Amino acid sequence: MATISDRRCDVDFIRSLYEAGMDVVRINSAHLDIEGALKIIRNVREVSDKIAILIDTKGPEIRTTVCDNPINVAKGDIIYIEGNPHEKSIPGKLYVTHTSFAGDVPEGLPVLIDDGDVELKVVAREGAALRCIACNDGVIGSRKSVNVPGAKICLPSVTPKDKEFLAMAAREDVDFIAHSFVRSAQDVKDVQAVLDGFKSEIKIIAKIENQEGVDNIDEILDEVYGIMVARGDLAIEIPYEKIPGIQKMIIGKCIKQRKPVIVATQMLHSMISNPRPTRAEVSDVASAVYSQTDAMMLSGETASGRYPLEAVKTMTKVALEVEANKEKYIEMPASTQTGEISGYLAKVAVKTSMRVGARAIIADTSGGRTIKDMAAFRGENIIMAQCYKKRTMRELALSYGVYADFQAKENSVDRFIHTALKNLTHTHELLDNDIVIILAGNFSGGSGFSFIEVGTVNYLRDRLTISD
């Protein structure tokens, strides 16, 4: 997944990232307006109808207000903080966007500005303001992030700007909404209610960015399509040494529930200004792949960095190398979410594909649930999903090891196999002697998988008595 800015989103640029391995485009609503987002959407769709589009909401965040000039802070300075989004911040007095800030933040807690670059400690509450002391030297600019680890701040889950972007996303039929700072299942329900008002099929990804979100991960998972481990704010809100364990825990829960999981933030951060990653960054990307994540995200590397294409190529190269050497299968019970028979056949297909040395699993799907079921086992063979809806094709861009294509629905299993083999021989260069697993749905009106067959491409094609 790559973040794209409206300042650099021409068709040729997006195409170059797509050809280098980008499957999903992220649009960060915190840094652009509606027109900028529409520009990106139009250009992405001109490149390919397979690229999924995700819009990242601003969510219930707190920021400093505008200041005419950067404010220099020295350790030991007394600085007041007051909630008033309409006032400009000045030396000695910071205004923040949350009006009840002073009432929500107790004495003794740290206030971290700009991803923790400046730490202020709350000394006392004085009227509508908090008196704080600076813990380090630093500079505070306009509209910088404000985090208060340990404080439970009462903010609405959906802001007016979020509602504006949700309406646009519904009109444009984008694929995903990644909602920021999700704290509970109710935050997700609030977003879903807005989308339901537009009768939208957009899927919600919950960004886990604070302790409350981690504590409530199980109830959040029940309400969302997938999870993003947003390590930037998470590492500010929670002690940084706990982040690797939290990342691994969330990935494990998502796999168990057959829901896509994304690892995000600063994966190749040095490539914003350098053409090569650090060894630590390569290890970070590799660790996410070893942990069996579905997807990884680039932020500033592709949105504003000097080497966006190199960043995508680097992430792709590292992922491919690790994929060749990591664990090839996760043993767990068959899912019952798609039906007992369908869940059993999904597990059998993955295990069989490994035992017979298959090139791929070819399966049909309407909504993608059965494909995500197979992907959860993290088998070594790719899943060539033949989707009866283009939306499903794009949604599966987030799922592990899935290559999705659109295929019109046929009226029989044989017709499905015939069409799928004909198409995939061209698009994925299937060879006559390649062994494939065919997994197909019930063509008499049921749902889920009901048919499985194993054979070479040549054998399967020859046994069919269907002509074009």
**pTM here?**
0.92
Residue 66 maps to a domain: no
CATH value at residue 278? 3.20.20.60
Q: CB–CB of 366/442 below 8 Å?
A: no
Residue 152 maps to a domain: no
Query: What is the Cα–Cα distance from 124 to 106, expressed in whole angstroms?
Result: 8
Are residues 38 and 129 both part of a single domain? Answer: no
Q: Domain of 112?
A: 71-147
Residue 216 maps to a domain: yes
Are residues 172 and 314 both part of a single domain? Answer: yes
> Within a 10 A sphere around the Cβ of 257, how many other Cβ atoms?
18
Long-range contacts of 217-220 (CB under 8 A, 24+ apart): 217/249, 217/250, 217/253, 218/253, 219/184, 219/185, 220/182, 220/184, 220/185, 220/187, 220/188
Amino acid at 101: F
Question: Comparing C-alpha atoms, which of 354, 282, 362 is closest to residue 314?
Answer: 282
Question: Comparing C-alpha atoms, which of 215, 219, 254 is closest to residue 234?
Answer: 215
Residue 332 maps to a domain: no
Are residues 346 and 451 both part of a single domain? Answer: yes
Are residues 318 and 245 both part of a single domain? Answer: yes
Q: CB–CB of 73/79 below 8 Å?
A: yes
Residue at which a domain ends, from 119, 147, 175: 147
Q: CB–CB of 105/130 below 8 Å?
A: yes
Query: What is the Cα–Cα distance from 378 to 446, expressed in whole angstroms?
Result: 26
Are residues 113 and 220 both part of a single domain? Answer: no
Number of domains in the chain: 3
Q: How many CA atoms lie within 13 A of 21 on its CB side?
A: 19
Residue 334 maps to a domain: no
Tokens of 285: 């990307």
pLDDT at 151: 86
Are residues 50 and 87 both part of a single domain? Answer: no
pLDDT at 445: 63
Are residues 34 and 14 both part of a single domain? Answer: yes
Are residues 250 and 206 both part of a single domain? Answer: yes
pLDDT at 323: 94
Residue 271 maps to a domain: yes
Q: How many CA atoms lie within 13 A of 41 on its CB side?
A: 22
Are residues 413 and 371 both part of a single domain? Answer: yes
Active-site residues: which are they?
26, 63, 207, 265
Are residues 195 and 237 both part of a single domain? Answer: yes
Residue 279 maps to a domain: yes
Are residues 164 and 94 both part of a single domain? Answer: no
Q: Report helix, strand or coil for 410.
A: coil
CATH value at residue 359? 3.40.1380.20
Query: What is the Cα–Cα distance from 466 to 468, expressed in whole angstroms?
Result: 7
Query: What is the Cα–Cα distance from 175 to 208, expressed in whole angstroms?
Result: 19
Tokens of 404: 């999705």
Long-range contacts of 149-152 (CB under 8 A, 24+ apart): 149/109, 149/110, 149/112, 149/211, 149/236, 149/237, 149/238, 150/109, 150/211, 151/104, 151/105, 151/106, 151/109, 152/104, 152/212
Question: Comparing C-alpha atoms, which of 371, 379, 357 is closest to residue 434?
Answer: 357
Q: CB–CB of 260/254 below 8 Å?
A: yes
Residue 65 maps to a domain: no
Catalogue the E-assigned strands of 29-185: 52-56, 71-73, 78-83, 93-96, 110-113, 118-126, 129-134, 138-140, 146-147, 176-179
Residue at which a domain ends, from 124, 147, 170: 147
pLDDT at 154: 85
pLDDT per residue of the chain (468 residues) written in tens, 0 to 9: 999 999 999 999 999 999 999 999 999 998 899 999 999 999 999 999 999 999 999 888 899 999 999 999 999 999 999 999 999 999 999 999 999 999 999 999 999 999 889 999 999 999 999 999 999 999 999 999 899 998 888 888 999 999 999 999 999 999 999 999 999 999 999 999 999 999 999 999 999 999 999 999 999 999 999 999 999 889 998 999 999 999 999 999 999 999 999 999 999 999 999 999 999 999 999 999 999 999 999 999 999 999 999 999 999 999 999 999 999 999 999 987 778 888 999 999 999 999 999 999 999 999 999 999 999 999 999 999 999 999 999 999 999 999 999 999 988 899 999 999 999 998 888 999 999 999 998 676 666 788 899 999 999 988 886 666
Tell me the sheet residues that pair with 63.
145
Residue at which a domain ends, from 147, 175, 203: 147
